[in-house]
Each structure stands twice: as structure tokens, then as C-alpha cells.
Structure 1
Amino acid sequence: MKTRFVLIQTSHAGNVGAAARALKVMGFDELVLVAPRWPDVLQRQEAIDRASGATDVLASARIVATLDEALEGVDTLCATAMTPRDFGPPTSTPREHLPALAGKAGSVAFLFGSERYGMRNEDVYRCHVALTIPTAPGYGSLNLASAIQVIAYEWRLALGGFEVKPAAPAAVPADAQAVAGMLEHWERALVDMGFLDPAAPKKLMPRLNQLFNRAQPTPEEIHILRGVAKAMSEAGGRRKT
């Protein structure tokens, strides 16, 4: 589904750059600005810096004078509004509404108002739905770029998301015989170091046995531990001479 993000009367150049970054991370690239505070916002250094690798999205963004121009060719409009409007469109969370929308044909625009005032009532009224992002009770103030990132993520999720590479298979632990051999090596090394008294070993080795059972070392790690034991024995021998 063709997707457009529309920012209305944005006042901070940094938010425009951050919006471009948010879109690119989620695989979107169509950004339209309606009457931004700075006519040259796309060239301002703060916007370029905040785009951080998404300057191509920033460079392809369009600036228009009216919302009508921004919405040309779009058939589904989604407002973003924290507060439901009387006589306005139904209010829904992105996760409730977007999966059904993703199954339709056509194009969609997500509209975001100014940082200070949000969306005007008349702009919300023309939309098909008002998306609201659930927040902690008593504090629903989201930075503009953060709100764009959340909506872009939820929309990408509704569209099927991105393929995630499977995790590398877990390392196979060493077998019990290898662990037992390593523990015998450590026991000799601990005696050589003077840390373990063979006449009064107490419960040291059983406790180490349980520790390594929990750790489930791999064969490579057993090799390292044996190397440590060898170094311990050599250090203990030097100390006695």
C-alpha cells in the first residue's frame, strides 16, 4: 500500500530530520511538509544532522503550502491525535486499526500536527480515523519524531514487518566426561596454587562442579579452562621454587 507521511506546520528543523530517519528505518520514504516554519527546513543543518544517514529521504521530501496539496492522490487519511474530537472520526490505537487497513488496496497518509498544538480540529475531521498511541496515564506528551517512529513501526508491522534472520544455533555444551576431566585438572592446579588443601577439601570441588554444570561450557571453553589450570599450576610451581 502506497504510504505518505505528512507533517503539518512543523516548527523544529531537527524533528524533520528525525522524521526522515524514522521513516527510513521502517522502509518508508515519502515525506511531505505542509507550511513548515522554515521554508528552507530541508537544507537546515539541524535537520541534516538529525537525519543521520537518511538524508536521501530528507532530500526527496516535498514542501507544499496547503494540506490539500499534500493529500493529492491519497484515499485513506489517518490523523494522529491524543484527544478524541467531538464529531470527529473514530479513535483507535495503531495496533487495533492498522492490520485491517493493511489488507486494503490504495494509498494512505499519516498526518501529524505541529509540535505545540497538534492537529487542528478541521484537519482531524477530514480523516477516516484518529490514531492514538497508548501512554502512561496523566502524561501523554510524545515528541513529534517519537510519535512518527511509533506509527511507522506499527504500520510496518501491520504490513508484514521485515524478515528477521534466524539466530545462530546455540553452542553445544561439552559432554560430562570433558567437564569431569577439566575439573580434575582444576583440582590439581588449585592444590599447586595452595588454594585447595587436599587433606581438607571441604565442598570446594562439588561446588565448582555445580557451577560448571550451570554454566554448560562448550568444548572450546573447556579448552580455555584447561589452559587456565595449566597456567595456575605453573605459577604455583614457580612460587615453590
Structure 2
Amino acid sequence: MDEKILIIIPAYNEEKSILKVYEGILNYNKENGTNYDVIVINDGSIDNTKRICQQNNIPVINLVQNLGIGGAVQTGYKYAYENSYDYAIQYDGDGQHEIACAKDILDPLRNNEADICVGSRFIDKNSSEFKSSVARRIGIRIISDLIKLTTGKRVYDVTSGFRAANKKIIEQFACAYPLEYPEPVTNAELLKKGFKVREVPVQMHEREAGQSSIHTWKNAYFMINIFLSIVVVMFRREK
């Protein structure tokens, strides 16, 4: 039986890039014989994201209000779980991710080497020209050090939103997913629970449009809250 693979694209005010991102996936499917399904989670956008999706027959779930990145991504995982997908790929709607690298983050799952695979800019110096700002990279390194300290294992690109998950993780995330700082928190949580987390090098691009959910003026607040969130995960008792 063919694999069922879903690409989850959370989108908030991505009117300038969402059609290009979707068409890029369709073109890749045609050229490479892949059959990646797509679901866009329109997270209460106040621009023309909803209209563009509807006019171009882009599969979309329109949230009635903005839930934030965590709520939008979890909606995608719920959809994947309810529709019995074998694998789900998180994929940004701003043009940062490279669809040709989807196979690279899927392969460790197919080979049973990982339950979740993170597409990383930092484990291979030559894999991605885009590395983010110096300040952001310093923050990522600090979070990576914290996860290593608390779990004994390192994830280098802790905020990467380009991840592939197998059925076990799809079910986990459909049931519970953090609303804030979801990537670093779930990386730590999955390592604590004994799931296999793998990182592979991928190509990423600078965002084509829109604005990051992590703004410069929020960096100190962002770091403190991630630190506290990961500490809470480490000391939380499993039910």
C-alpha cells in the first residue's frame, strides 16, 4: 500500500507567498512522482490568505481566530491523525523551506531510525546558505545547550519548523501540543519520553514575505520563557 504523506502548512498573513509555496509542492510531485498531500491551516489571517487559498483550490482549514503557531500546527496534526496519514511534514508558508529536502527528513522515519526528524541548518556547514541572524543563532545555541543539559542529547536547530513525524508522533501531537515555543519544547519532551529524534541537514531560504513570529524586541522574553518551559517539561511527572 502506498504511503500517505501530509504536508502541514501553518499560515498567518502569507498572501504574498502561499500560492507559490503550494505550486512548488505540486510541481515537485509532478516532476518526481511523489504524492505529497497538502493542508494549509489558515490561522485567522487578516490579509488575503483565505481568499487566495479558496480561489486556487488549495486545501485549507480556516480557523475562526488566531491560535498562534502551536494551535495551527496541532490542527494539522489532528487532521493527519483523523485521516490516517503515515507521515506528516511541518512546512512553513513563507518560502523558507525546500521541498526537495522533504525526502531527506522522511528517510530516517522510513528506515525506523527516528520517530521525528528535524531539518537542520547547523549540522552541516554547507547544507544551507541561510543561517538566520547572529543574535538568533546565539539564542538557538543556548536553547540547544539547555536541551543537552536536561536530556543528555543535543538538537542543533531547535527552532526549525521543518520536521517530519511518524504515526506515533502524529498521535502524540494531535492529543497535546504546546501553544508557545512548540519546536524546542516538543524536542525536549520527546527526548525525555524516549522517542528517537534525528537531525539531518537541509537547505533553507530567507523568508520571501511576511514576518517571523519571533521579533527582535521579544528575544529576551522568548529565551526566558523557553528556558522555563523546558525546565517544566523535565520535572513534569508523566500520567
TM-score bracket, shorter-length normalisation = 0.3 to 0.5
- After TM superposition, the score normalised by the length of structure 2 is 0.34
- After TM superposition, the score normalised by the length of structure 1 is 0.33
Structure showing greater radius of gyration is 1
* Bigger relative contact order, structure 1 or 2 (CA pairs below 8 A, ≥6 apart): 2
